[in-house]
Structure 1
Amino acid sequence: MSSSAFIPNTISLSLFLSASFNSMASKEIARELPPLLRVYNDGTVERFLGSPHVPPSLLDPETLVSSKDIVISENPSISARVYLPPKLNNSHQQKLPIFVYFHGGAFCLESAFSFLHHRYLNLIASEAKVLVVSVEYRLAPENPLPAAYEDSWEALKWVTSHFNSNKSEPWLVEHGDFNRFYIGGDTAGANVAHNAVLRVGVESETLWGVKIAGVVLAFPLFWSSEPVLSEMVEGFEESSAMQVWKFVYPDAPGGIDNPLINPLASGAPSLASLGCHKVLIFVAGKDDLRDRGIWYYDAVKKSGWEGDVELVRVEGEEHCFQIYHPETENSKGVISRIASFLV
């Protein structure tokens, strides 16, 4: 499995090598995850990939979407960027579906405040006419897993606490329709969304009475100790998914067969208990994670879950292409399909 499962194919290994040669040459390397990042003995973390942070916008010139940053928790540090699309001319009082989004980046890169996700979620908010809450969870290796899962769950509880209340975020109270509540994400963020909606179904906690209508899993990151379909090749044991998981969650019980990364592991909660009504899964033809998305789709269908699950295959495309190249026809198709799901 190549690193293309986590980074765009336009970024080559030479970027990593060039940065490595020029940076922190006097420090000792403690461990590294090529070509993504490196950790030094003094605790310094050097990331070689990822888009820069950008500020929110009062009015995005392309989409007319407004965005702002909010603090969810000071300890631990959890924040979010909220996106509000322009109101429809003939429905000034209409409330909007809510979409809680978890960004990708192998649990160690990217941000709710990064350029790529800011641009992408402006497009989602505009096309779908939804209020988006993009969660900024803590990253590994500074905060190894399960920190990202815990932060995302706390963020989900915080958002739903605004249902039938006058809580701290006026956009949620004034514009959010909690009867049309969705979650989702891309790659590692899709993994987080899966585990969150599974937790909703398994635990008695009801998120303040809010029901999750559906979940969007774009190119989800799942793996296991046993290969499936096209993964049955030499080198599977050294796959990038395995290397990432060991790096971001070195103490994971069960290793790569921990239920957080392997939803079909022994002892994992049944997929029949997914706490939503519908699931939308995307896979891409040139993505090393594509067969895991199909594997998950088939498992949900066979689980006895009573909701609706749909698999969308986009041939000839790389991992998370719609975020890196949103201007293409295939990317526009993905965004339109997500918009039609979030109703």
Structure 2
Amino acid sequence: MPLGSTSKRPGRPSSPPADAAPPSATPGARTATPVSRWLDSPPSARDLPPLTGLRGYLTACALLAVLLGPDLVKRIAVGAHLAGAPAWVTWPRHWPAAAIYGAVLTATAVWLLALEGRRARRADPDGCRPVLPTAAAGGVGLLGVALCALTGTGRGQTWADIIGVVAVAGAGVWLCLGVARDRGISAAQMGIAPPWAADRPGRIQAVTIAAISLSACVIGTKLLIPHQMSLPVPTMTTSQADLLGGTDLSFRVMGLAAGFREETVFVAATAVMLTAAGRPLRELYAVSMTARILWHAYIGVPALGVALFAVANLWLFTRTRRLTPLITVHLAYNALLDYWPQGLTYVLVLLILAALLLQADARPAHRSGKTP
């Protein structure tokens, strides 16, 4: 048949060209895209190199132990103290914050040096290690050793705590990305600056993620946790800074760093490693939610209120493979929590959700393939 012929072969119905618009679509027609369509990611984001189940679990647990382990032990000990546990169980609650950060940085530096050495051997078995990453990892280790030696009180201790928690947050992201790269997983698959998020739909998706995550956070911290604190259960009766052993300034900085530490480990690292290992979603949720609740054990039984936030963030990440919006929401919420009236927070959440659910993204119909 000559090219361009419009006649039909027997038994084969004709189909319109791939780039043709639907019959009902007209130029300039606009339609709203459902929220569910925004919460998607391309197949390349989910095409992870396979890991064995044991290796996936070991990697996720090792990252959790190295980056958050000492802090986690202290927070659980504080929660046990609130529940009336004996002193031999709760003694880790007296660990100095600077010493905890020093131990984390030292262990992180050892792992980073091992990763850089393995990477250099793969690239050039007879070559030398790259100078800059090796020197940076060594600097992380030296800072960790220095912080381990700093104990006491006063302004110097406060600044040691601040430097330590900021360094731990940055080194933790570096280690998670390094471990992922060592296992063939890119930074984009870990949710850091994925290329499919650079256009307008990607920005709308980021707003959607932020709105849902913020809503879950507000419901948990403004409704569930305060309600549980009014019940006759073990709960904190003093400030969080006093419970964790620090000043108000160091605790504020720690709250900002928590956005990086918690979301990178509890969400991205856990989800990616266990998904690559072929584990079912229920195991991802169980590990992530349990770790997040234990991380907030220092407030007592009301720590169960963070379960909604944990589930929402993990669900958003598994759907979209976007980590940066989750970190941004967590960081902004902790930064503005003490300065926003509670009513304003609810109003903002409702406005964001209303805009998203009604008509946030009106696209040309010939792109979405739907009629107005």
TM-score (norm 1): 0.27
TM-score (norm 2): 0.26
The structure that is helix-richer by fraction is 2
Rg larger in 1 or in 2?
A: 2
